[in-house]
Amino acid sequence: MRKLKFIPVNTPVIGSYEKKYVLDVFKKNQLTSGDYLKKFEEKFSSLHNKKFGVSVSSGTAALEIAIKSLSLKENSEVIIPSFSIISTALCVVKNKLKPVLVDCDIKTWNVTFEEVKKKINKKTSAIILTHIYGLPVDMKEIITLAKERNIKIIEDAAEVIGLKYKNKFCGSFGDISTFSFYANKHITTGEGGMILTNNKKIYNKCMSLKNLCFGNSKYNRFNHEDIGWNYRMTNIQAAIGFGQLKNINKIVKKKIEIGNIYYNGLKNNKNFFLQSNKTSSSKNIYWVFGIVLKDKYLNKRNQVMDKLLEYNIDTRPFFYSMNNQKIFKKNKNFIGSKYPNSEYLSINGLYIPSGLGLKNYEIKYIIDCVNKIIN
């Protein structure tokens, strides 16, 4: 097998619209503030049938602002997935709330209604539903129960931009929803994020929090009303995002195509298992394509990653189970807790290149290498 040049885990694609709009930003000299921020916010919120959009500097920033904007009772409990990026927990801890972990399903890698329900009690003020790696949480029963208990839903759709759940875009379902536009996401602005809501009071709060909570008049600007952040998106980033949205349907189609080629080429390998290709309510949009080792390759994830790198194939390990994060062990956040599915995925999971710039011959090469190495 002829070795190909290095294939990075992600290759973003920047098209003609993005370049055109960025040049327009330079012509107008509107680098920080400008027309494209409003255009991007309005277009993105409209796509998700939400009234208000708040552009921010990252998906992590979106989560921190979103949860603070809800004015949840201090030390109340927020249910979060144990298998997720650490930002899901940090936004809770930073806002003086208590994170409560829920293990994931081993097939979908998402939380389930049954597991979430077990953790709900009188102290529960909110649930963060994070859609993992391209497959959405089955939200219907969770949202119904949350409404009955007056529990807020923060829908983290960072990894599923453009994906539909029950014929509505993910990010349409939460009381407040968050997104990431990092370079490896379906829509990218390099760095960046978005918050969506239908609640004008929450929208105004988010707008203030992302901009240091400046005073509400030009005479009172530097008399700050609350503890906020400098989490603004630039007009340059918004121009890129606005351009990317022009091709959202093509992007989704391409990601699903890449995922399906991988799935069909790897599904028969008995030494690992894959995330579900679809559920009764949605397809997998494949933000990343993950492989979870088993049997004789159990606990040999690092060796497999090293071997793939010898073939110039870039990889990443899966998210680390939240209860085993160094910082949370140090602070004794989840003492004695076990989340077997999350822990298994964390130790035995890796993902392979799946960026929009990936060529079909590269996908075939990667499939051949994976099946040869994990045989």
d(CA 45, CA 176): 12
Same domain, 192 and 209: yes
Does residue 138 sit in the same domain as residue 252? no
The reply to whether 152 falls in a domain is: yes
Whether 236 and 259 map to the same domain: the answer is no
Judge if 234 and 341 occupy the same domain: no
Q: How many domains does the chain have?
A: 2
Is residue 362 a contact partner of residue 125, using CB atoms and an 8 Å limit?
A: no
Residues 241 and 347 in one domain: no
The pLDDT value recorded for residue 280 is 86
The reply to whether 150 and 161 lie within a common domain is: yes
> Which segments of the chain have a pLDDT < 50?
none
* Same domain for 74 and 197: yes
Instruction: Classify residue 143: in a domain, yes or no.
Output: yes
Q: Among 192, 224, 245, where does a domain finish?
A: 245
The owner of tokens 């075939």 is: 364
Does 6 map to a domain? no
Helix, strand, coil % over all residues of the chain, rounded to 5: 40, 15, 45
Spell out the residues 6+ positions from residue 215 whose beta carbon is closer than 8 angstroms to its own.
221, 222, 223, 224, 225
Residue 9 domain flag: no
From 142, 242, 153, select the one nearest 192 (Cα to Cα): 242
All residues at 6 or more sequence positions from 196 whose CB lies less than 8 Å from its CB, including other chains: 44, 45, 48, 50, 52, 53, 54, 171, 174, 176, 177, 178, 179
Are 221 and 289 members of one domain? Answer: no
Q: Are strands 77-81 and 98-102 parallel, antiparallel or unpaired?
A: parallel
Tell me which residue has tokens 């009172």. Answer: 220
1 part of a folded domain:
no
45: buried, middle or exposed (CB in 10 Å: 19+, 13-18, 0-12)? buried
- Closest by CA to 148, choosing from 178, 117, 171, is 117
Residues contacting 45, CB < 8 A, separation 6+: 51, 52, 53, 196
pLDDT, residue 93, reads 97
pTM reported for the whole predicted model: 0.96
For residue 352, give the CATH number of its domain: 3.90.1150.10
pLDDT recorded at residue 337: 86
Q: Give the domain extent around 144.
A: 16-245
Are both 227 and 252 inside the same structural domain?
Answer: no
Residue 39 and residue 96 in one domain: yes
Please tell me the predicted confidence (pLDDT) of residue 335. 86
Which CATH number does the domain housing residue 207 bear? 3.40.640.10
pLDDT at 336 (0 to 100) = 83
Domain boundary among 187, 217, 245: 245
Read off the tokens for 69.
Answer: 């904007």
Shared-domain flag, residues 53 and 184: yes
Phi, psi of 310 (to 5 degrees): -60, -25
Last residue of a domain, one of 195, 222, 245: 245
CB–CB of 252/259 below 8 Å? no
Q: Is 99 left (phi over 0), alpha (psi -120 to 50) or beta?
A: beta
**Residue 311, in any domain of the structure:** yes
Residue 290 and residue 223 in one domain: no
Say if CB 83 and CB 345 are below 8 A apart. yes
Distance CA 362, CA 244 (A): 24
Report the distance separating Cα 347 and Cα 287, nearest Å: 20
Q: What percent of the chain has pLDDT over 90?
A: 95
